[in-house]
C-alpha cells in the first residue's frame, strides 16, 4: 500500500484550534485510488522541533507524495503555495516562545525551492468543485514556510513530489471580526479534491496563476 503523507499544524498564538489539522485529520485513511491512501499526521508549531518531526515522518512512512498544510490567517481561499524561501522571520513567538529573526532555514541552502506539485491543476480542480482556491506566491516566514522549505530540501533529487497548502481560518475563530474564513466542511472537501488532483496529475495544467504585485 502506497501512502500520501498529509500534515497539519497544532494550534498556535493562543488559538484553541488549527483548521489545517482539523481538516487534515478527517482525511486520514481516505483512499485516493487502488493501493494508495492518505496518512494524516500532526506537526508542532515550533521552529526547533518541527524539522526533526518532519524528517522522522518522511523516513518512517516513505510516502510517495507529501503535502503539508497550515493556517493562513486573513486568507479567503485555499492557497496552493508556489515557493518556499530560506528565511525565518517570525512576527510572533512559536509555541516554545522562540522568535527567530532573519535566520536561514538551512545554512548555505538555496535561496528558495519551488513546489513539485501540479499546483495549477490542483487550483483548477478545486475551483471546478466550487471551492475558492488560488496559487499563492508566498508561504510567509513563520513555521509554515520553514516546513515547506525543509520538505523540499529533504526530497530534492527524489521522485517524491511535495508542497504546501494554506487554509483559511474557521468562521468561529474570527466571529465578529470581519476577517475571511471558510467552513471546515468546505476546507476538508477542498483538500480532498486538491490532494486527489495532485496524485492523479503528472503534468501541470498551463493557466495563469500569477500576480501583478
Catalytic residue among 60, 81, 128, 189: 81
Cα separations (Å) of 85 from 104, 149, 173?
9, 6, 28
Digit-coded pLDDT (tens) for 113-172: 999 999 999 999 999 999 999 999 999 999 999 999 999 999 999 999 999 999 999 999
The predicted structure's pLDDT at residue 212:
60
Of the listed 53, 153, 166, 189, which one is catalytic?
166
Is residue 24 a part of any domain in this protein?
yes
- For residue 186, being part of any structural domain is answered with yes
pLDDT above 70 for 213: no
Residue 136 β-bridge partners: 81
Place of cell 529533504: 154
How many other CB atoms sit within 10 Å of the CB of residue 100? 19
pLDDT for the residue numbered 177: 87
pLDDT of residue 140: 97
Q: Is 144 annotated as catalytic?
A: yes
Q: Do the domain assignments include residue 68?
A: yes
Percentage of residues in the chain having pLDDT higher than 90: 90
Q: Is residue 160 part of a domain?
A: yes
Residue 182 near residue 167, CB atoms below 8 Å: yes
Catalytic residue list contains 22: no
Q: Given the residues 34, 45, 53, 144, select the one marked as catalytic.
A: 144
CATH of the domain at 169: 3.40.630.20
Give me the chain's average pLDDT, please. 96
Give the domain extent around 22: 2-200
**Considering the domain boundaries, does residue 29 fall inside one?**
yes
Residue 213 lies in a domain: no
Residues 6+ apart with CB under 8 A from 175: none
CA distance 148 to 137: 13
Output the pLDDT for position 40.
98
Residue 81 bears catalytic tag: yes
Q: Note the pLDDT tens digit of each residue in 9-26.
A: 999 999 999 999 999 999
Domain count, the chain: 1
Amino acid at each position: 500500500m502506497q501512502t500520501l503523507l498529509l500534515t497539519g499544524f497544532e494550534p498556535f498564538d493562543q488559538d484553541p484550534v488549527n483548521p489545517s489539522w482539523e481538516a487534515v485529520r478527517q482525511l486520514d485513511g481516505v483512499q485516493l485510488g487502488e493501493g494508495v491512501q492518505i496518512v494524516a499526521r500532526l506537526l508542532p508549531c515550533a521552529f526547533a522541533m518541527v524539522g526533526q518531526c518532519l524528517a522522522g515522518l518522511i523516513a518512517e512512512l516513505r510516502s510517495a507524495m507529501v503535502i503539508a498544510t497550515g493556517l493562513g490567517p486573513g486568507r479567503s481561499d485555499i492557497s496552493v503555495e508556489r515557493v518556499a524561501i530560506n528565511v525565518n522571520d517570525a512576527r510572533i513567538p512559536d509555541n516554545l516562545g522562540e522568535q527567530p529573526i532573519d535566520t536561514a532555514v538551512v545554512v548555505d541552502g538555496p535561496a528558495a525551492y519551488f513546489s513539485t506539485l501540479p499546483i495549477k491543476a490542483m487550483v483548477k480542480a478545486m475551483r471546478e468543485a466550487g471551492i475558492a482556491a488560488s496559487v499563492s506566491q508566498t508561504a510567509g516566514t513563520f513555521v509554515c514556510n520553514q516546513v515547506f522549505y525543509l520538505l523540499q530540501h529533504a526530497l530534492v533529487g527524489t521522485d517524491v513530489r511535495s508542497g504546501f497548502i494554506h487554509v483559511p481560518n474557521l468562521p468561529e475563530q474570527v466571529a465578529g471580526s470581519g476577517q475571511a474564513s471558510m467552513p471546515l466542511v468546505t476546507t476538508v472537501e477542498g483538500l480532498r479534491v486538491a490532494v486527489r488532483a495532485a496524485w492523479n496529475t503528472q503534468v501541470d495544467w498551463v493557466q495563469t496563476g500569477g500576480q501583478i504585485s
